[in-house]
Amino acid sequence: MKTPRKLRLTAYFLGLVGAALFTALLVRQGVMSVGAAVATAGWGIAAVAAFHLLPILLDALAWQVLFPPGDRPRWQSLFWMRWIGESISNLVPSATVGGDIVRARLVAINGVPLSIAAASIIVDITLGIVTQIVFTLLGLALVINVTGRTSFVGPTLVGTLIGVAAVAGFYFAQRRGMFRFVSVIITRLVNSPEWSSLVEGGATLDQTVRALYGRRRGVLACCAWTMVSLLASSGEIWIALHALGLPASLVNALILQSMAMTIRSVAFPVPGALGVQEGGYLVVGNLLGIPGEAAFAISLITRFRDLTVGLPGLVTWQLLEWHRFWRARSVLASR
């Protein structure tokens, strides 16, 4: 069985497992109770979707500061690129990384050198993981302070340490020239002179990545904007809690958001973290005294948000690609 087919089968299997878990949790909490809770949210669903544009904007600003001044796109352009990339990552099955590839392509199409476009995505992802680890530890500290419960501190810390080790290894590999190394391996496997330029491209990308890391002010500014974005995203949970008629404190919202994002990141092999995200909201919500059906409703509201914000993003991306395709076809036809 070929590797791509194995990967597809694995994705389908994990998707089925996630769907089964989602259904089991929904039945356990009561379909009618969860439906009633979601219906209670009413205006909150639209408000959460509208508010989500703020974290996307803040993420775009975090991305923008990584570019050298001479090649820095406008924040307005990066905003819609970030929006499209997130839409693809959230809604297209097994496309967690696909959204980042698309936004690298979009920024390159808009005039930024390909090496800088790709390097900015790599550095942005790395720094985003580091900042999210800090956000997770903040949420964990607040859980202990608010609830006094320490039962899941150990597993969370173990997961955090694994994440730190993984991102440290990824960063070290980037600094050591991983992309040229990979290019050399691919070129040798293909054994074709036509692929020799790939090595030069890998070396250029390595050099550009190191240059972006060397801009310390840009790196620190990216981390700061990303942390502001993560903190601001807690406002979505605050709106959902308020719409559901629950005690809406910013501390509870931050705890729910940090823990939910951590669980979703750990469950990245499962398409859309289906079922896993809901389980995370139920566990953390239980610690905070939030009824199970309400915690499940919060998860559904975030999924409605992804659809509301993401579907227009996917349509916009398709329109852009079709426009580029027909323009290229027209140029060829006129020759």
pLDDT for 12: 53
Q: Taking Cα atoms as reference points, which of 144, 142, 166, 162 lies closest to residue 153?
A: 144
pLDDT for 280: 78
Q: Angle between the 43-51 and 292-334 helix axes, to the nearest 10 degrees?
A: 50
Single-letter amino acid, residue 175: R
pLDDT for 17: 58
Residue in the block written with tokens 């919500």: 285
* pLDDT averaged per 10 residues in sequence order, the chain, 335 residues: 53 56 57 60 84 96 95 94 91 70 89 89 93 91 81 72 82 77 55 50 83 94 97 93 85 89 71 69 83 83 87 89 77 65
pLDDT for 274: 65
* Residue 80 to residue 84: CA distance in whole angstroms: 6
* Residue 117 to residue 103: CA distance in whole angstroms: 9
Longest dimension (CA), the chain: 73
In the chain, what are the domain boundaries? 19-328
* Residue 157 to residue 162: CA distance in whole angstroms: 9
Q: Encoding tokens for residue 293?
A: 């059906």
- 106-125 burial, b at 16+ Cβ within 10 Å, e below that, comes to bbeeeebebbbbbbbbbbbe
* Residue 266 to residue 132: CA distance in whole angstroms: 12
- Which pTM does this prediction carry? 0.84
pLDDT for 134: 92
SS3 42: coil
pLDDT for 194: 46
